[in-house]
Chain A
Amino acid sequence: DQQVKQNSPSLSVQEGRISILNCDYTNSMFDYFLWYKKYPAEGPTFLISISSIKDKNEDGRFTVFLNKSAKHLSLHIVPSQPGDSAVYFCAAKETSGSRLTFGEGTQLTVNP
C-alpha cells in the first residue's frame, strides 16, 4: 500500500506566481516530513522538513504546512522561478526508526 501519496504527477505555473505541491499520508505513526527536489540525472536534494509538533516551517521562498488531522502536507514556493522546475518528492518518517517513505513525486514546471 502507498503510505505517502502525491496525487498530482505534474504542475505548471508561471514565473513569479505561487507553486503549491500537495502530499497525503495514511500512517499515523509518521512524525517527521521532508521535501526533496530532484533534477534530471541527479539524485534527490533535501529541501525542507517539518516535525509533527509544528504546523508550519519556512525557509526563504519555501514553506511547508502540515495538517495532522487531515494527514496532509503541502509545499509552497513563492515566488516561483524557472530554476525551481524539477521533480519534488514528499517523504515521511515514523516515530521509531529512520526509514524514509517517499511519495511518487510531482513534476513542477515554472514557465518564464
Chain B
Amino acid sequence: EAGVVQSPRYKIIEKKQPVAFWCNPISGHNTLYWYRQNLGQGPELLIRYENEEAVDDSQLPKDRFSAERLKGVDSTLKIQPAELGDSAVYLCASSHPWGWNEQFFGPGTRLTVL
C-alpha cells in the first residue's frame, strides 16, 4: 500500500510570497489532516477533512491560510502571504473512517521563509 505523498519536500521562499503544499492520502482514507510542526515541538493540527468537508479548522489562521480538498481525495494547503514565522514542517496525514487513532503521516514539506 502506497503511503501518504506530499510535495514539494522542501520549499524556500521570501516573505510575502505565496506558497502551496500538496497531499495525496492513502487510497480509501476518507479523513485527511494538515499539521504544522515548529522546530522542537510536536505537530499541531491545522485542519481536518472528512471527505471534502472541513470538519475542524479552528486552528487554521484564516487570514493567510487556506485549504481545499476537492473531490475528497487530494488536498492543497496554501499560505498567502507567507511570514517569517510560518517556517515549519507541514505534515499531511490520513486515516480510515473507523481508525482515526492510527493516523498515517506523510514525510512533510519543510518550509523556510526568508
Contact = CB atoms under 8 A, between A and B. Distances in A.
B34 interface: no
A62 interface: no
Interface in A24-56: 32, 34, 36, 41-46, 49
A43 B42 contact: no
A98 B42 contact: no
A104 B42 contact: yes
A45 B42 CA distance: 13
Contacts of A44: 43, 91, 105
Interface residues of A, number: 23
Contacts of B40: 9, 104-105
Given A46-B103, A102-B44, 16 more contacts: A32-B101, A34-B101, A43-B104, A43-B105, A45-B105, A46-B104, A49-B102, A89-B42, A93-B101, A98-B31, A98-B48, A98-B100, A99-B45, A100-B45, A102-B43, A104-B40
27 contacts: A4-B42, A32-B101, A34-B101, A36-B105, A43-B107, A43-B108, A44-B43, A44-B105, A45-B105, A46-B102, A46-B103, A46-B104, A49-B101, A49-B102, A89-B42, A89-B43, A93-B101, A97-B56, A98-B100, A100-B43, A100-B45, A102-B41, A102-B42, A102-B44, A104-B40, A104-B41, A104-B42
Interface of B: 4, 31, 40-45, 48, 56, 91, 93, 100-108
